[in-house]
Structure 1
């Protein structure tokens, strides 16, 4: 099978044989990333009525039941229902189609090094991705035809695969000005390698989520300009072997009637056709 796409006036073939998964594997009952001190993702064999879903225990087949918190146990994708009352489930968003995606590496800075703001007020030692950083990294890059942005924060240590985020180990986040800049781009899918667009302890405002989906601050109601088709994918991992640049993205989601679900974003390298 060959898939051809056009990007910035050039034709490309998707390299289907070399797909790159951005999902952190969920090691049930084992080492895994964790946010907000959530219970870890766990599994155990289904049992009852004389049946045991474990061939090692004499069962006829393996049948696991699992417990997990999609927002906290690994790579996940959110719909606008994450912050509004209306049940617009992640499974109802048709995001499995192919999108043009830009992978971009950025280095967070301490808030005291930035002129930007946030709600609530920034602490000097907060690590942020600010507007100046985005403008510098995107200088000269034509992003008019992309539908997705995937951010890799530097340094890109593999501890992201199992880090326990806490008050003592807080992840970076976007400033208000940076998120407004992103929200004004013609994109539908935003992917980041940290657990939330917002500060870990932000007094419940989730101001960046509201800005991205174009909702009124602190509101849980849809507004006329709300971007229902947009998704946020958090806790991805982009290997150092993946270069910054343009790819095709397949955002693979289960048909869950929830505000978020575990996901597996796939990047396909683009081969220019002459």
Structure 2
């Protein structure tokens, strides 16, 4: 199916899923010191909610997981504020023009970071609604990496501020957090992107509709460039939800004169 959006042609039959699914296997990525997700059938006494058990006509699983630590998730500024804000109420539109960029990590004070300079160069004056950051090197181990206590790379505060000042509303990244794993609660990149100066008393110009999506994975076969992004979430009244960002390649329409 071909759709035409803002003078772009979009082939909706060729989605590029950049989410990491939640599983109950050792292959599931994990961050923030928790154990792997649990997916198991409901049990009432000897009855098991699983067709293969011979006791049930349906598969009837309960799932226990943490959206921040177990896979691709999208969060709103309620992730860092005293007052409650829900991703389900903050994200009101689901299609955006996005720019996929690949950025080599830089070493700074013993950490690996994504710098403002690399973001500026990769965007090359583009100002999309959403930015998708693929960090280099882009190992497939990101799909199952155990991040706890490893000091993963993160987004420099100046880079996050530049993204905000560029008017970009939605930030997607293939790391467990835009901030340093152990930063004494400073959360500099989160605050810079959402324009939050006081988590206890939200400023009037904080970006209520802006989102951060973490723990994505973009295969090397997907080229840098412009895409249509469909940012799908589950309807959780929570600061974050597991999500399924999907990219679609775009082509300019040739206008015959």
Query: Take 2:221 and 2:167, find their aligned partners in 1: how far apart are those partners?
Result: 28
Higher strand share: 2
Query: Take 2:30 and 2:91, find their aligned partners in 1: how far apart are those partners?
Result: 28
Correspondence 1:1-274 to 2 at 5 A:
1-6=1-6, 11-48=7-44, 51-58=47-54, 59-111=56-108, 124-138=109-123, 141-144=124-127, 146-167=128-149, 169-216=150-197, 219-274=199-254
SS state at 1:151 partner: strand
Contact 1:100–1:148 under 8 Å retained in 2: yes
Cα deviation, residue 27, structure 1? 1.8
Contact 1:189–1:231 under 8 Å retained in 2: yes
TM superposition outliers: structure 1 runs of 4+ over 6 Å: none
Cα deviation, residue 273, structure 1? 1.5
SS state at 2:159 partner: helix
The gaps in structure 2 that reach 5 residues or longer are none
Listed one character per residue, the Cα deviations across residues 173-196 of structure 1 (whole Å, up to 9, x for unaligned) are 111211111111111110000000
In the comparison of the two structures, how many residue pairs are matched? Answer: 253
Query: Take 1:194 and 1:260, find their aligned partners in 2: how far apart are those partners?
Result: 16
Query: Take 2:222 and 2:2, find their aligned partners in 1: how far apart are those partners?
Result: 22
Query: Take 1:254 and 1:48, find their aligned partners in 2: how far apart are those partners?
Result: 28
Cα deviation, residue 4, structure 1? 1.6
Contact 2:23–2:39 under 8 Å retained in 1: no
Query: Take 2:23 and 2:154, find their aligned partners in 1: how far apart are those partners?
Result: 26
Contact 2:76–2:239 under 8 Å retained in 1: yes
Cα deviation, residue 49, structure 1? 5.9
Cα deviation, residue 50, structure 1? 5.7
The gaps in structure 1 that reach 5 residues or longer are 112-123
SS state at 2:117 partner: helix
Give me the CA root mean square deviation: 1.5
Query: Take 2:120 and 2:101, find their aligned partners in 1: how far apart are those partners?
Result: 12
Query: Take 1:163 and 1:181, find their aligned partners in 2: how far apart are those partners?
Result: 29
Contact 1:23–1:75 under 8 Å retained in 2: yes
SS state at 2:13 partner: helix
TM-score w.r.t. structure 2 length?
A: 0.94
Cα deviation, residue 88, structure 1? 1.8
Listed one character per residue, the Cα deviations across residues 210-246 of structure 1 (whole Å, up to 9, x for unaligned) are 11110115x2331111000000000000000100000
SS state at 1:241 partner: coil
Query: Take 2:92 and 2:229, find their aligned partners in 1: how far apart are those partners?
Result: 10
SS state at 1:269 partner: strand
* Greater displacement, 192-201 / 93-102: 93-102
Listed one character per residue, the Cα deviations across residues 91-114 of structure 1 (whole Å, up to 9, x for unaligned) are 113344310000000011110xxx
